[in-house]
């Protein structure tokens, strides 16, 4: 199976070898779009998608994501970025070029419940999640057979609060070894330390099984049932040191009623969790997210 996915990735890379994305954030001012468009034109690039947002037309923050094609891009990358620096300095930009053929390596962390992991694996197998799942790390053996049957390395690392530093040292070593670009917590039920989070800023995506900010922390379905809610939901967000309070990427909800017990809420909620996490991961892979403070702009 891994070889089949590798073939899909190779095909994707060949088809997109001349495609790139440019993400920009700066203070809004006249001339930004004109300057960037002229720059790309001068470098023989054709803009294929453009999305922009301004927080306030009168002196707010400006965000833009450009998708473009440029002949012989692989050999132009260094020069392209070097030539862009004067424009970035003029407008005081935070900016980033990403190259579509550079498929991201992702690590998945999971505990006992496999539904979010299974969704990611299905999307990956179908070619709809264009990343390389480099490895899966778990504090339980539950999903080993599923993962290894697809040719993905599986690492069982027992974890609890008493050995957290030792566990994270092993995890960080594996992430470096596999050259991981970002991490997905697919119902990984362990709290990460500040040092671990700091090592991967805005590169750890979590799924929380409630519609945040409601029911932060443990047992949200039980608490939702006891509260008598009529809507349940799920939230995917970047991980920060504040529990379940990082920048939100995606959310969704489902309607429930008084007949639904806790188990029914969990069953319905798991379907929402799967789709919400998959969308968030895809948007991260496609460089559609710009983090601004504790919010996200998703293009």
Condensed to tens digits (0 to 9), the pLDDT of residues 155-214 reads 999 998 889 999 999 999 999 999 999 999 999 999 999 999 999 999 999 999 999 999
Q: What pLDDT is stored for residue 57 in this prediction?
A: 81
**Angle at 279 (CA atoms; ends 256, 33), nearest 5 degrees:** 125
Confidence of residue 6 (pLDDT cuts 50, 70, 90): confident
- Catalytic residue chosen out of the listed positions 181, 244, 260, 287: 244
Condensed to tens digits (0 to 9), the pLDDT of residues 41-51 reads 999 999 999 99
The DSSP output letter for 166 is H
pLDDT higher at 6 or 137:
137
CA distance 135 to 155: 8
pTM: 0.95
Correct CATH for 105-298 of 3.20.20.70, 2.40.110.10, 3.50.50.60, 3.40.50.170: 3.40.50.170
Confidence of residue 29 (pLDDT cuts 50, 70, 90): very high
153 in helix, strand or coil? Answer: coil
Q: What pLDDT is stored for residue 161 in this prediction?
A: 85
> Is 244 annotated as catalytic?
yes
Helix (H) or strand (E) holding 232: strand 231-238
Q: Given CATH 3.30.70.260, say whether it is the number of domain 17-99.
A: yes
- Domain boundaries along the sequence of the chain: 17-99, 105-298
pLDDT at 1 > cutoff 70:
no
φ, ψ of residue 222 in degrees (nearest 5): -65, -40
């Amino acid at each position: 199976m891994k070889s089949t996915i590798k073939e899909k990735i190779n095909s994707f890379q060949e088809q997109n070898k001349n495609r790139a994305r440019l993400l920009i954030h700066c203070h809004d001012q006249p001339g930004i779009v004109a300057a960037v468009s002229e720059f790309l034109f001068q470098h023989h690039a054709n803009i294929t998608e453009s999305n922009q947002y301004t927080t306030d037309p009168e002196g707010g923050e400006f965000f833009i994501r450009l998708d473009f094609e440029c002949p012989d891009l692989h050999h132009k990358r260094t020069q392209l970025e070097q030539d862009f620096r004067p424009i970035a300095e003029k407008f005081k930009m935070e900016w980033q070029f990403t190259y579509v053929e550079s498929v991201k390596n992702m690590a998945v962390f999971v505990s006992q419940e496999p539904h979010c992991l299974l969704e990611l694996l299905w999307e990956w197998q179908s070619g709809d999640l264009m990343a390389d799942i480099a490895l899966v790390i778990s504090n339980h053996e539950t999903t080993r057979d599923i993962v290894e049957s697809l040719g993905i390395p599986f690492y069982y690392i027992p974890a609890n609060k008493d050995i957290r530093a030792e566990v994270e040292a092993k995890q960080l070593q594996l992430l470096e070894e596999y050259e991981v670009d970002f991490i997905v917590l697919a119902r990984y039920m362990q709290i990460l330390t500040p040092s671990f989070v700091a090592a991967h800023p805005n590169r750890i995506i979590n799924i929380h099984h409630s519609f945040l900010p409601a029911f932060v922390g443990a047992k949200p379905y039980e608490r939702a049932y006891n509260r008598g809610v009529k809507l349940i939901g799920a939230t995917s967000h970047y991980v920060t040191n504040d529990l379940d309070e990082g920048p939100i990427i995606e959310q969704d909800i489902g309607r429930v009623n008084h007949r639904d017990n806790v188990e029914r809420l969990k069953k319905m909620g798991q379907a929402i969790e799967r789709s919400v996490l998959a969308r968030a991961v895809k948007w991260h892979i496609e460089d559609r997210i710009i983090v601004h403070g504790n919010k996200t702009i998703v293009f």
